[in-house]
Amino acid sequence: MPHPSSRPDPSEPVVYRLTCRFRPGGPLNSGWWTDRETAERRYREWIGLYGSTPGTVITLTRETGAGSEVLRAWPPEGP
């Protein structure tokens, strides 16, 4: 279930956060999901919707009580 602007129940052991920033220091859109498959699907959708806009950065992170880990980022880093 998406949680558009706030972190889901802190008792959830793992949640996935998707963020989209259209320019450095600019507005940030975000969504939260407890299901990784849903978060990955939304990540791909957001790339299709916003990924061609210059300066846009889209990031999918895995959040736990111990911290966060970036799983995917757009645009991809160079080789």
Contact 43, 51 (CB under 8 A): no
CB atoms within 10 A of CB 33: 21
48 belongs to a structural domain: yes
- 10 pLDDT above the threshold of 90: no
Share of the chain above pLDDT 90, in %: 63
- 23 pLDDT above the threshold of 80: yes
Residue pointed to by tokens 């966060």? 68
Q: How many residues does the chain have?
A: 79
Domain range holding 25?
Answer: 14-74
Enter the pTM of the model: 0.80
46 belongs to a structural domain: yes
26 belongs to a structural domain: yes
